């Protein structure tokens, strides 16, 4: 019986080795050049990229879509799942948009991953070449809506690492309906005066991490919209840009809120805002709760700490107050310089005052005048050294 047992074990072990061998052989790499992509920066490679993706996505073993060095021009592309196994999307080269922005169409995206799980996007540069589009936007007649550079929708277990996004037409990175998605070592770059070029926009997603990244752009470095939950943002260098924002919230009555967000170990340089919570002055069931801003350095920031519940561009919400409930927000160890005297501004809703706002060790100064705090409809507490003096 004993020898029979060990024989079974031995056979099992051999099968185990065989299966390891087999799966490593099946781990295929799909080089986009073999599917017709051209590294000349001019030929439209979108069909080739999508064909390589479909091959990888249909593979039963984990597989790689490989974009070798070189510059590939592509129109809007969709990489959709579900796929049969794990995919590594390895970019050693650069993807560029067509030279004429009209060629991007009106779909709203340039590179879209949708319904994919277990995806890693690694390396590479994507350049949406947005400058002509921004000129159109600024001088303004008959511009298309513009596209987001890279979008992730309905996806989970995604890691994006070492990707550089240049000169987006609108948003650089958009995430919606995703869970467990992480961005690391990203570089996001657009000029400070490029309109609406947010770095990241997150919506309706749970378990989002953004870390060790550089974001220089013309709008929010990161914006967390309705339905953002369990978000960790750390080690970000933001600026120029409009800072890290929660919101805008409360644009509609029945809207999900934002909860459990940590922003820490982050530096803002010459940004319009530092850490901001923003809501429309409208009735809404939305909320922002369990938010923590910790270990933050402000360098020449216009509005380092701000809650603004009176957002109403173009006055489409006259005489309403915001229904968004802002509660349990902690600011701790926030230091540096403000370009305006009003370094802290809590402008909360008359009908829904902010509750549980806690400040601890905050020190914000201007070069020559004392800084101030403005408080409207806000309840909270302060501890440690807080400059400007809090109103709690
Ligand atoms: C809050 O979010 C973090 C991720 O940033 C997560 O690790 C943690 O479990 C969440 N907390 C709760 C109570 O859900």
Tens digit of pLDDT for each residue in 99-122?
999 999 888 999 999 999 999 999
Distance of CA 259 from the midpoint of ligand 1 (Å): 9
Please report the atom of ligand 1 found closest to the CA of residue 209.
5
Ligand 1: does its nearest atom lie under 6 Å from the Cβ of 230? yes
Using a pLDDT cut of 90, give the percent of the chain over it: 88
Ligand 1: does its nearest atom lie under 6 Å from the Cβ of 290? no
- pLDDT tens-place string over residues 129-176: 999 999 999 887 789 999 999 999 999 999 999 999 999 999 999 999
Ligand 1: does its nearest atom lie under 6 Å from the Cβ of 232? yes
Ligand 1: does its nearest atom lie under 6 Å from the Cβ of 206? no
Distance of CA 230 from the midpoint of ligand 1 (Å): 5
Task: Return phi, psi of residue 254, to 5°.
Answer: -100, 90
The helix or strand, by DSSP H or E, that contains position 215, with its residue range, turns out to be: strand 205-216
Which residue puts its alpha carbon closest to atom 7 of ligand 1?
230
Which residue puts its alpha carbon closest to atom 13 of ligand 1?
260
Between CA 158 and CA 180 the distance in angstroms is 7
Q: Chain-wide mean pLDDT for the chain?
A: 93
Which residues make beta-bridge pairs with 249? 279
Q: Report the pLDDT value the prediction gives residue 312, as an integer from 0 to 100.
A: 84
Is position 242 annotated as part of the catalytic site? yes
| All domains in the chain, ordered by first residue | 220-392 (2.160.20.10)
Which residue puts its alpha carbon closest to atom 1 of ligand 1?
230
Q: Is the pTM of this model over 0.75?
A: yes
Which residue puts its alpha carbon closest to atom 9 of ligand 1?
230
Please report the atom of ligand 1 found closest to the CA of residue 207.
4
Strand order across the beta sheet in which 77-80 lies:
77-80, 109-114, 148-153, 173-176, 200-203, 222-224, 244-249, 273-280, 303-311, 342-347, 372-376
Cα separation values, 167 from 40, 128, 131, 218, Å: 20, 6, 7, 10
Average confidence (pLDDT) over 61-88: 97
For residue 3, pLDDT over 60 is answered with: no
Half-sphere exposure of 50 toward its Cβ, with a 13 Å CA cutoff? 15
Q: Which of residues 103 and 11 earns the better pLDDT score?
A: 103
Average confidence (pLDDT) over 221-239: 98
Ligand 1: does its nearest atom lie under 6 Å from the Cβ of 136? no
Distance of CA 295 from the midpoint of ligand 1 (Å): 18
């Amino acid at each position: 019986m004993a020898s029979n047992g060990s024989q079974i074990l031995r056979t099992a072990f051999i099968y185990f080795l065989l299966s390891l061998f087999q799966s490593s052989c099946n781990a295929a790499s799909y080089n986009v050049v073999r599917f017709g992509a051209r590294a000349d920066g001019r030929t439209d490679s979108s069909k080739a990229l999508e064909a390589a993706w479909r091959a990888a996505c249909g593979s039963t073993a984990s597989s790689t879509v490989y974009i070798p060095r070189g510059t590939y021009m592509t129109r809007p592309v969709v990489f959709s799942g579900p796929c049969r196994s794990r995919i590594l999307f390895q970019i050693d080269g650069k993807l560029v948009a067509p030279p004429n922005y009209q060629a991007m169409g009106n779909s709203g995206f340039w590179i879209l991953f949708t319904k994919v799980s277990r995806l890693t996007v690694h390396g590479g540069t994507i350049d949406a070449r947005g400058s002509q589009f921004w000129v159109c936007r600024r001088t303004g007649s008959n511009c298309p809506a513009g596209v987001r550079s890279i979008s992730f929708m309905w996806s989970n277990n995604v890691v994006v690492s070492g990707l550089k996004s240049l000169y987006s037409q609108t948003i650089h990175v958009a995430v919606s309906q995703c869970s467990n998605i992480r961005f690391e070592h990203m570089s996001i770059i657009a000029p400070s005066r490029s309109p609406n070029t947010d770095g990241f926009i997150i919506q309706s997603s749970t378990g989002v991490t953004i870390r060790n990244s550089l974001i220089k752009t013309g709008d929010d470095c990161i914006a967390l919209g309705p339905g953002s939950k369990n978000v960790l943002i750390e080690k970000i260098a933001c600026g120029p840009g409009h800072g890290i924002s929660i919101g805008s919230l409360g644009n509609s009555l029945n809207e999900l809120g934002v909860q459990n967000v940590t922003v820490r170990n982050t530096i803002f340089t010459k940004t319009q805002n530092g850490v901001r919570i923003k809501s429309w002055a409208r009735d809404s069931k939305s909320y922002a709760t369990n938010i923590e801003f910790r270990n933050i350095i402000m360098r020449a920031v216009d509005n380092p700490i701000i809650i603004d519940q009176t957002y109403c561009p173009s006055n489409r919400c006259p005489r309403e107050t915001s229904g968004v409930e802002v509660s349990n927000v902690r600011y701790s160890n926030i230091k540096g310089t403000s370009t305006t005297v009003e370094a802290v501004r809590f402008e909360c809703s008359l009908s829904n005052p902010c509750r549980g706002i806690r400040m601890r060790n905050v020190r914000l100064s201007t070069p020559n005048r004392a800084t101030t705090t403005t408080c409207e409809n806000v309840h909270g507490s302060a501890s440690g050294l807080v400059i400007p003096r809090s109103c709690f």
